[in-house]
Structure 1
Amino acid sequence: MPEVVFPLDSTRGFADQRIVGHNRYHPDIPAVVEVRPGDEFRVHCREWFDGAIRNDDSADDVRDAPMSRVHALSGPFAIRGAQPGDLLVVDILDVGPLPQEDSGPLAGQGWGYTGIFARRNGGSFLVDRFPDAYKAVWDFTGQTATSRHVPGVSFTGITHPGLMATAPSAELLAKWNAREAALIATDPDRVPPLALPPEPQDAILGSLTGAERDRVAAEAARTAPPRENGGNQDIKNLTRGTRVFYPVFVPGANFSVGDLHFSQGDGEITFCGGIEMGGFLDLRVDLIKGGMDRYGVSENAIFLPGNTDPQYSEWLAFSGTSVTLDGEQRYLDSQLAYQRACLHAIDYLTTFGYRPEQAYLLLGAAPVEGRFSGVVDIPNSCATLYLPTAIFDFDVRPSATGPHRIDPGIGAPHSPT
């Protein structure tokens, strides 16, 4: 096992650890440890809400989830010799739930969860259809996930980190804050909001204290969206065997990781859409000096996906076009088209006995594939969602004798707003 450079004690909160990570982006958050190019090391990661979500049959914890506390990130890690303009090379050697902890109160201790977020607390990709909070708890058996809240399915997870990132420069941070503030100003009272401005409350900033901590907390960016530094991209294919190339904006790169998922469908469509967990990452880092200019990677990471995905070979695919539920035509709106494809899949699964929220939670957690299938034929773009048929305990394909009816069980916990 590689050396653990960022250990976590499961009995203590994220801010009370021996080495404290962070939950905001800022160039002045100090690195917790320095590693060298070529080093292999292990990082423990806390579940993104730091234990606020429980293994029970209530969705009140998802409804009231403390958004100002996310994400609980391990790091930053300084890479010796890294300078702005370099490319940081990150190899994911291994990733999984909390090692040697197969049961316990924290996500990652033998279980994880998927949540549909309430409109007032961030919403989801399908918030107009699902404005309230729902939750599904998933049990882990090896690489397989099952749930008492979504019966009749089991699948192999594509375990991956949802978030990996380098630190922004002061100039890049200012650019983020300015452009996102301008977006918020177009509709400042929107629920859910258009973006999340800096929020000093609940900011965790490593070892910073006093006036310096207060200054950084007032400026630091929230970690919710992906940006030029990588960040919360939620790409399910960043699994073991993956190599990622990140732009470097500050000396040392100051690399951070977190938001581990046991599994996820393309799009993470419920917002808390992967199967969230704490766990570990084994990493190797290297540098390509001057790589940003040499390869034209001035913003956003590029990557070589790993080769350990579950090998599903049969799919049932659903398509959607850029027409709203009210019949309004939109011009080549691929996001709307994907929403409609997801809704078509949900409606289809309800004919087998699933409740709509159970089907939605399943699409967020299972390794479904989302694709932009046509983006040129005006006025309708076409998007598709591919559902692996092998994850079901019954035949989900259309037939002359179907559909098979399942017992939906206790259903997904629901907490109205």
Structure 2
Amino acid sequence: MPETLVKVDLSQSAYENENVHNRWHPDLPMVATVKPGDDFILECYDWTGGFIKNNDCADDVRDVDLSIVHFLSGPIGVEGAEPGDLLVVDLLDIGTLKENPWGFNGFFSKTNGGGFLTDHFPEARKSIWDFDGLFTQSRHVPGVRFAGQLHPGLIGTLPSPDLLETWNRRETGLIATNPTRVPPLANPPHVPTAHMGRLKGEARADAAATGARTVPPREHGGNCDIKDLTRGARVFFPVYVNGAGLSMGDLHFSQGDGEITFCGAIEMPGWAHLRVNLIKDGMAKYGIKNPIFKPSPIRPVYNDHLIFEGISVDETGQQHYLDFNVAYRQACLNAIEYLKKFGYTGAQVYSLLGSAPVQGHVSGVVDIPNSCATLWIPTEIFDFDINPGADGPKGGIAPGTDVPMSADL
């Protein structure tokens, strides 16, 4: 049996666990060291460290302190890993914790994090998803059931001092262009809630002052939220420090492409079984500055989709030039309006698009002035037929259910 290198106790604060951290910094001590070819298990908290509860109120999503996240298990050192190498990580298996057979999806309030469609859904909401083996369904989004595609939303290696300095310089520079924006343009270092793993005393304080927040993806991997990094996938990570320093967390039971709700997929605590190897000098050999990966041969099989298009014209009618972000937002909004005809509220559909295995595609970026984005929704996940027909929408859900909203402030 592989050794479990990091264990979590869901009744314990993540801050009490010295084998997890919530900032990136090259001085973080390794919590364990393995050899190339070794396999091992990491247990992980959900990305909030257990702040979100299984209930019918979204106050916890509204009130979560986003500076605490993400809680990551690691870093794990790999013998012989040196800057310039590639760390090869095989995701052998990923699972849920038996004491926590549920996950959550939500959208933050616009004043605390926001999200992809925050102007349309400015209040905090959440949905709870119960696990039934490989499948999940929600009391808050009825009429759907689908297979999970479990994956880490966040996995990466430690940055070098130079790379960390680059991150902080370019992100604080971006913030300076509009420092009062809501939601903010980026998240700078924040000392009060930093968890620096096994670092103590003055070394901890110094590292916390410059430790990079874990919110975005960067050159080392990080919070990429790629649903196809599931069991059976292989990832090639750039190595920036001796030992590589592999950390992971933010496990998802399922996710739609883009994780558009931001609080995001179906979030959960869980475990992952990994194997590591090295390609010496692999960054130069293959010209790699960001991770690359080979996807799993296993994924939920849904062969019939209803596909929604979006173009670079926003909801006010303003024309944008080849703006894929605008086009994908329009595809999502078009899907929301469509599925509302089957009895769902807009918030329920928004939650579904963040949770279910929907696909997002870059379908055109050369035909000026409009990019074309497409959103592929598998029709088989519904209990009823969502395809258009001459007689109009048939079936659907009974009115009276919705994704819970936070209480009034």
* Equivalent residue, structure 2, for 1:402: 392
Post-superposition offset of 1:113: 0.4
* Equivalent residue, structure 2, for 1:341: 331
Following the alignment from structure 1 to structure 2, what is the Cα–Cα distance between the partners of residues 36 and 11?
32
Matched ranges for 1:194-233 at <5 A = 194-233=185-224
Contact 2:108-2:124 within 8 A present in 1 as well? yes
Post-superposition offset of 1:408: 4.1
Matched ranges for 1:360-375 at <5 A = 360-375=350-365
Following the alignment from structure 2 to structure 1, what is the Cα–Cα distance between the partners of residues 2 and 255?
27
Q: Which amino acid counterpart does residue 332 of structure 1 have in structure 2?
A: L
* Equivalent residue, structure 1, for 2:40: 41
- What is the alpha-carbon root mean square deviation over aligned residues? 0.9
Establish whether residue 16 from structure 1 lines up as the match of residue 16 from structure 2. Answer: yes
* Equivalent residue, structure 1, for 2:296: 306
Following the alignment from structure 1 to structure 2, what is the Cα–Cα distance between the partners of residues 116 and 397?
27
* Equivalent residue, structure 2, for 1:358: 348
Cα deviation 1:240-289 (Å, max 9, x = unaligned): 00000000000000110000000000000000120000000000000000
Q: Which amino acid counterpart does residue 247 of structure 2 have in structure 1?
A: S
4+ aligned runs moved over 2 Å, structure 1: none
How many residue pairs align between the two structures?
A: 407
* Equivalent residue, structure 2, for 1:56: 55
Establish whether residue 132 from structure 1 lines up as the match of residue 132 from structure 2. Answer: no
Following the alignment from structure 2 to structure 1, what is the Cα–Cα distance between the partners of residues 367 and 159?
38
Contact 1:165-1:230 within 8 A present in 2 as well? yes
Establish whether residue 388 from structure 1 lines up as the match of residue 383 from structure 2. Answer: no
Following the alignment from structure 1 to structure 2, what is the Cα–Cα distance between the partners of residues 66 and 137?
20
Contact 2:321-2:368 within 8 A present in 1 as well? yes
* Equivalent residue, structure 1, for 2:306: 316
Q: Which amino acid counterpart does residue 27 of structure 2 have in structure 1?
A: D
Establish whether residue 265 from structure 1 lines up as the match of residue 256 from structure 2. Answer: yes
Cα deviation 1:33-65 (Å, max 9, x = unaligned): 001100010000100001100000000000111
Establish whether residue 118 from structure 1 lines up as the match of residue 117 from structure 2. Answer: no
* Equivalent residue, structure 2, for 1:28: 27
Following the alignment from structure 2 to structure 1, what is the Cα–Cα distance between the partners of residues 37 and 151?
21
Cα deviation 1:340-394 (Å, max 9, x = unaligned): 0000000000000100000000000000000010000000000000000000000
Cα deviation 1:195-216 (Å, max 9, x = unaligned): 0000011110111111111110
Following the alignment from structure 2 to structure 1, what is the Cα–Cα distance between the partners of residues 246 and 341?
46
Which stretch has the larger CA shift, 396-405 or 58-67? 396-405
Contact 2:83-2:240 within 8 A present in 1 as well? yes
Post-superposition offset of 1:13: 1.4
Contact 2:189-2:209 within 8 A present in 1 as well? yes
Could you tell me which of 220, 235, 240 is aligned with 1:244?
A: 235
Following the alignment from structure 2 to structure 1, what is the Cα–Cα distance between the partners of residues 399 and 365?
37
Following the alignment from structure 1 to structure 2, what is the Cα–Cα distance between the partners of residues 271 and 380?
25
Following the alignment from structure 2 to structure 1, what is the Cα–Cα distance between the partners of residues 145 and 344?
15
Contact 1:14-1:20 within 8 A present in 2 as well? no
- Residue aligned with 1:371, SS: strand
* Equivalent residue, structure 1, for 2:73: 74
Post-superposition offset of 1:402: 3.1
- Residue aligned with 2:235, SS: strand
Give unpaired runs (5+ residues) of structure 2.
Answer: none
Q: Which amino acid counterpart does residue 226 of structure 1 have in structure 2?
A: P
Q: Would the alpha carbon gap of residues 12 and 254 (structure 1) be closer, same or farther in structure 2, given more than 3 Å must change? A: same
Q: Which amino acid counterpart does residue 210 of structure 2 have in structure 1?
A: E
Matched ranges for 1:101-112 at <5 A = 101=99, 109-112=100-103
* Equivalent residue, structure 2, for 1:4: 4
Cα deviation 1:142-177 (Å, max 9, x = unaligned): 011100000000000111000000000000000000
Give unpaired runs (5+ residues) of structure 1.
Answer: 102-108
Following the alignment from structure 1 to structure 2, what is the Cα–Cα distance between the partners of residues 46 and 281?
12
Contact 1:83-1:249 within 8 A present in 2 as well? yes
Contact 2:10-2:50 within 8 A present in 1 as well? no
Cα deviation 1:294-322 (Å, max 9, x = unaligned): 0111x210000001100110000000000
Contact 1:151-1:409 within 8 A present in 2 as well? no
* Equivalent residue, structure 1, for 2:88: 89
Following the alignment from structure 1 to structure 2, what is the Cα–Cα distance between the partners of residues 179 and 23?
20
Following the alignment from structure 2 to structure 1, what is the Cα–Cα distance between the partners of residues 301 and 381?
11
- Residue aligned with 1:282, SS: strand
Q: Which amino acid counterpart does residue 314 of structure 1 have in structure 2?
A: D
Post-superposition offset of 1:10: 2.4
Post-superposition offset of 1:401: 2.6
- Residue aligned with 1:84, SS: coil
Q: Which amino acid counterpart does residue 86 of structure 2 have in structure 1?
A: L
* Equivalent residue, structure 2, for 1:188: 179
* Equivalent residue, structure 2, for 1:105: none
Could you tell me which of 251, 267, 275 is aligned with 1:284?
A: 275
Following the alignment from structure 2 to structure 1, what is the Cα–Cα distance between the partners of residues 141 and 191?
38
Post-superposition offset of 1:11: 2.2
Matched ranges for 1:147-166 at <5 A = 147-166=138-157
- Residue aligned with 2:20, SS: coil
